[in-house]
Amino acid sequence: MTASTAQTTMSDGTKGLVVRGLTTTFDTTRGLAIAAADVDFDVAPGEVVGLVGESGSGKSVTLRSIMRLIREPGKVSGRVEWGGRDLVAMPAEELRKVRGGEIAMIFQEPMTALNPVLPIGVQIEENLKAHTGLTGSQRRARALELMNIVGIPAAERRLDEYPHQFSGGMRQRAMIAIALACSPKLLLADEPTTALDVTIQDQILKLLLDLRDRLAMSVVLVTHDLGVVAATCDRMAVMYAGRIVETGTVAEVFARPHHPYTRGLLGSVPRSGHSRTMLQSIDGTPPSLTALPQGCAFHPRCSFATEICRTDRPPLDLIGAGRRVACHHHEEVAAAEPIL
């Protein structure tokens, strides 16, 4: 990818990704599980947005719903606008061209996401074959180039090797090379560093940011790690029980959380430079998705909760430019003693 093509990507007038009312439900034997509800968020070109929450908060489901990777009995509704088209309603063949071509996705565990019986080179080249008219030797050359871009040494030899012959970090790099083969404009990253140790994690995040700059691509980064968000994201959306409860720039949200759940998450991060105290945790556990509490789903665990929280679900209100929160008492929460 050269600088000039990167420029055209930036200026071709797309608004990036616009998600509106995205709702994903699963009809289970224990009732209807609402895994993601009314999810709204935007990703501007070149922007890195973090989707944060505990396990089961709906962040991965949201990401998979965008790509329509939800299997039966899952159902997805709402709109996912991409370049003026709705991915949710798009015909299969058109969607196939978007997947991998314009929007790519990487997964948490490359050991299970890479096909164990195909050489890495084949897994890169099949992507190119699906979306470009490159010849066999051109595809091979591009695969080599990609291996170099993501920093895999001895690329020529490693193209013919299988996933089990790679180390964890190299495997994640290989998965990124596969995903980025066709220079997508949006990368959906589902906990890409969770399975890696800390030093490798740092390298992979640096690589992602570097690629974002080089390819002028947007990134949606799903993670439960606030440290990762602080290090990489421009904006963030906090999810709880399938809903977005707070959005804003990373700096704003970290400095003044308006939702008690965000406040709790930030409070549970261990910090250096302070006297050693017990880590704070959020009392209770996330609710079952088949039996969400009335009103605000967070109220049983919330110290700010009052009667209205038990009856009325707070809407995701705009409280500033690009700053939204879903809490009846957000002013009170924001005014509370700083947590960081």
Partner 1 sequence: MPLFSFVIRRLLQMIPTVIFILIVTFVLVRMLPGDPASAMLGDRARDADVNRINHELGLDRPLIVQFFYFAERIATGDLGNSIGLKVSVLSLIMDRLPVTLMLTALSAVIALALAVPLAFVAAFKREKLADSVIRGTFQVGLSMPVFYVGIILLTVFAAQLKLFPVGGYGTTLPDKLYHLFLPALTLALSFSAVLMRNLRASIINVMNAEYVDFATAKGLKSRVILLRHILRNALISTVTLFGLQIGTLFGGAVITETVFAVPGAGRLLIDSIYGRDYPVLQGLTISLAILVSLTFLLTDIIQAWLDPRIAR
Say if residues 120 and 159 touch (Cβ distance below 8 Å): yes
Q: Is 255 one of the binding residues for partner 1 (CB under 8 A)?
A: no
- For residues 12 and 4, what is the distance between their CA atoms, to the nearest angstrom? 12
Is the CB of residue 231 less than 8 Å from the CB of residue 48? no
Q: Which is nearer to partner 1, 160 or 331 (CB)?
A: 160
Identify which of residues 71 and 157 has a Cβ nearer to partner 1 in the complex: 71
Contact 52, 237 (CB under 8 A): yes
In the numeric block, the tokens 């399975």 are attached to: 195
Per DSSP, 292 falls in state P
Query: According to CB under 8 A, which one of 35, 51, 120, 178 is a site residue for partner 1?
Result: 178
For residues 50 and 23, give the distance between their C-alpha atoms in angstroms, rounded to a whole number: 19
Q: Which stretch binds partner 1 (CB under 8 A): 96-104, 149-157, 225-233, 300-308?
A: 96-104
Structure tokens at 91: 């015909």
Query: Could you say whether residue 113 binds partner 1 (CB under 8 A)?
Result: yes
Tally the residues of the chain. 340
State which of positions 62-81 bind partner 1 (CB under 8 A).
64, 67, 69, 71
Per CB under 8 A, 117 contacts partner 1 = yes
Q: Does 115 bind partner 1 (CB under 8 A)?
A: yes
Distances (CA, A) of 16 to 85, 87, 131, 186: 11, 13, 20, 8
Q: Which is nearer to partner 1, 22 or 70 (CB)?
A: 70
Least Å distance, CB 121 to partner 1, is 13
**64 vs 328, beta carbon nearer partner 1:** 64
Interaction between residue 51 and partner 1 (CB under 8 A) = no
Asked if 126 interacts with partner 1 (CB under 8 A), we say: yes
**Cβ closer to partner 1: 124 or 282?**
124
| Distance between CA atoms of residues 250 and 230, nearest Å | 7
Number of C-beta neighbours around residue 135 at 10 A = 9
Contact status: 96 vs partner 1 (CB under 8 A): yes
Binding to partner 1 by residue 192, rule CB under 8 A? no
CA distance 123 to 160: 10
Binding site for partner 1 (CB under 8 A): 64, 67, 69, 71, 96-101, 104-105, 107, 109, 112-119, 126-127, 130-131, 162, 164, 175, 178-179
